[in-house]
Amino acid sequence: MKKDTYFKDIFEMLDQFKTAIKRLHDQGVNVSILENDIRRITDKINISFSDSNDETLNIIRKEVLGDCIFLRKKIADAIRKQIRDIIENEIK
């Protein structure tokens, strides 16, 4: 199996995350932790490309998918917090 296919869906997911993070940043949210998480995940994928072993790529793919789940939750939490802050500011 080609290495690209191991991570194609993950790259698509990371692109969606980057878009969401950019929107949060544009709204004034500090997204440095989220950006660091994206960078760490991308680095993990890039390191895995140097290893052509299918078994190792599968293991790394599972780890990266787990990382993406946690990152998705962090992004969702940041969005919820931003919405709460907007609502609180409107009430005041």
Phi first, then psi, for residue 77 (nearest 5°) are -65, -40
Cβ within 8 Å of residue 44, ≥6 positions away: 60, 63, 64, 67
Of 52, 21, 16, which Cα lies nearest the Cα of 36? 21
pLDDT of the chain, 92 residues: tens digit per residue: 566 677 888 999 999 999 999 999 999 999 999 999 999 999 988 887 776 678 888 888 899 999 999 999 999 999 999 999 989 988 87
Is the Cβ–Cβ distance between 68 and 10 less than 8 Å?
A: yes
Domain boundaries, the chain: 3-91
